[in-house]
Amino acid sequence: MNLDEFLYKLHYETDQITPPDWEVNWEDAPLPYKLYQGLPFIELDSEISPELGRTEKPTLKSLSDFLSYSFGLTQVSESFPFPGDTGPWLTYRRFIPSGGGLYPNELYLYLKMDGVADGIYHYDAAHHRLVCLREGNFDHYLDQALGSRCDLSSVIGAIFISTFFWKNFFKYHNFSYRLQGLDAGFVIGQLLEVGKRLGFETGVYYQFLDRALHHLIGINEKEESVYAVIPLSMDKKMTWFDDREHKRISAEKLCKELPPLHPQHYVRSKEIIDYPMLLKMNEACMMDTFSADPNKNSFKKEEWSKSSISLSKAKRLSPDFYSACRKRYSPGLDFVLKPINENTLSSLLNETSAVRSYRNDVDKESKQLPSRLSIYVTTYQIEGLPHGVYVYDDGKHSLVPLAEGDYRTALQDGLLSAFVNTTQIPLSFTIAGDTGHLKDRFGYRGHRIQHMEAGILSHSLNLAASALNLGAHPILGFHVPWYDELFQLKKVGRTSLLHLSVGYYRSNGRLQGSLRF
């Protein structure tokens, strides 16, 4: 199968990309976290600070909180998610969701801050500690791997968000490819939010010399690949995306500047089956050199001729962030229908504003996320708003009506399984993006950039819902052509990337305990 056919089927004909006789071998499932063996490590504080204050100078404690909030294991939970399940489902929960709770991403850090030896570390989520992979200062190397665009002298470190293919391929087969990008987006969204609360300046780099970074952190590209890099700085005036022409080096040459690493790690699975399409896709995404970007800022924003319904003015929420993170949960069948007022919907959408202008190397300074992604929603029992389908106009903070009616049954019919009961759900969001998956601009890498951005945007809705005492359940298990039709996306050249059900929920019957104090 060629890559275009793969991406088409992955999106619109998902049953065609997984073998019909595919059976998940749960007995041999991998761990949801990567464990390194025989390397020195730095223990982090197991207590999570309930309040995150801005720090002038980062400490090991602020770094510990940064990691706990964004990717740490926080709770253990035993539940029976679906009626008729034979045994309890044991999961290690985190403050962010992940498709199937499998958390295919891993975090690596480059640190050069007081109290920690300069070097490259892996965040060991299972033990909440930093495993040292390579000691030293790598400013020069990382600078070149990022295309000499980032002022590394001003950073205190950088986070590398990787995808470890097998961690969710073992369950979802090729479908895992879409989840891997989306999941990375949720992690990035949370890292940006927590970083902001701790006073870290952040920016997301989606473009870098992949093989050079893999070499730096010592990962095997047949297993794992870096999807994004987020430098961290305390300097508000730092230059993030320097566009001037530089003498740029190839990944191959850069790798020669450092000796290879061969660390041992453990994933538990005894048998790991091949995933050739993921490797082929990953290979096609790789950048070996930096080239000038001829199509800068060429995104086209959707325009609507219909008049829109203004939403009430909403102030930014100032929630108890710790409690919003702790409460966050995907309610599944626990949604209960209760009316939501228009102010709440307005606040929910308003909370996506910070993310719409996040710093990243696609936009540089131009902040065009709303041109790449849009938010569609079906509403039911929203006080002051007719039931129907709408698209959000972020510039006017208003809703453009597309169709009137109760769409709950149509939404249910488009799900691949009864993950939620849509009759109980007042708000159903769809994050939509360009059907070409940004290929014109970034080649095959565009697909994963688009999915990461959809994850970032979805996570802002997710957190806002939790702060408003609502539940939000992300869903990728839906029939894309069906939802595209329902939200009228085809005629605007967009397609559904992720769905989110939002509403009130009852406390569910599960046994849950905190893994932290």
Ligand X SMILES: Cc1cc2nc3c(=O)[nH]c(=O)nc-3n(C[C@H](O)[C@H](O)[C@H](O)COP(=O)(O)O)c2cc1C
CB of 404 to ligand X, least distance (A): 28
CB of 411 to ligand X, least distance (A): 13
CA–CA distances in Å: residue 390 to residues 77, 290, 494 = 36, 40, 15
CA–CA distances in Å: residue 280 to residues 191, 251, 324, 448, 471 = 29, 19, 39, 14, 37
The pairs formed by 352-358 with CB atoms below 8 angstroms and a separation of 24 or more are: 352/394, 352/457, 352/460, 352/461, 352/464, 353/316, 353/394, 354/196, 354/316, 354/460, 355/189, 355/192, 355/456, 355/457, 355/459, 355/460, 356/394, 356/457, 358/192, 358/204, 358/456
Query: Toward ligand X, which CB reaches closer, 99 or 426?
Result: 99
Strand partners, 107: 161
Amino acid at 332: G
Q: Which residue has the tokens 């500047």?
A: 257
Helices and strands (DSSP H and E) totals, the chain:
16, 21
Q: Which residue has the tokens 């473009």?
A: 207
Query: Toward ligand X, which CB reaches closer, 99 or 157?
Result: 99
Residues engaged in binding ligand X (CB under 6 A): 93, 97-101, 179, 182-183, 186, 329-330, 332, 419, 474-477, 498
CB of 474 to ligand X, least distance (A): 4
Query: Toward ligand X, which CB reaches closer, 263 or 481?
Result: 481
Query: Toward ligand X, which CB reaches closer, 142 or 454?
Result: 454
Query: Toward ligand X, which CB reaches closer, 181 or 218?
Result: 181
CB of 373 to ligand X, least distance (A): 14
Query: Toward ligand X, which CB reaches closer, 465 or 475?
Result: 475
CB of 308 to ligand X, least distance (A): 29
Question: What φ, ψ does residue 91 adopt, rounded to 5°?
Answer: -135, 150
64, 128 Cβ separation under 8 angstroms: yes
What is the token pair recorded at 23? Answer: 């059976």
Query: Toward ligand X, which CB reaches closer, 149 or 499?
Result: 499
The runs of H, that is alpha helices, within 81-209 are 139-145, 166-172, 176-198
CB of 72 to ligand X, least distance (A): 13
CB of 182 to ligand X, least distance (A): 4
CB of 98 to ligand X, least distance (A): 5
d(CA 300, CA 288): 28
Instruction: Name the CA radius of gyration of the chain, rounded.
Output: 22
Query: Toward ligand X, which CB reaches closer, 48 or 476?
Result: 476
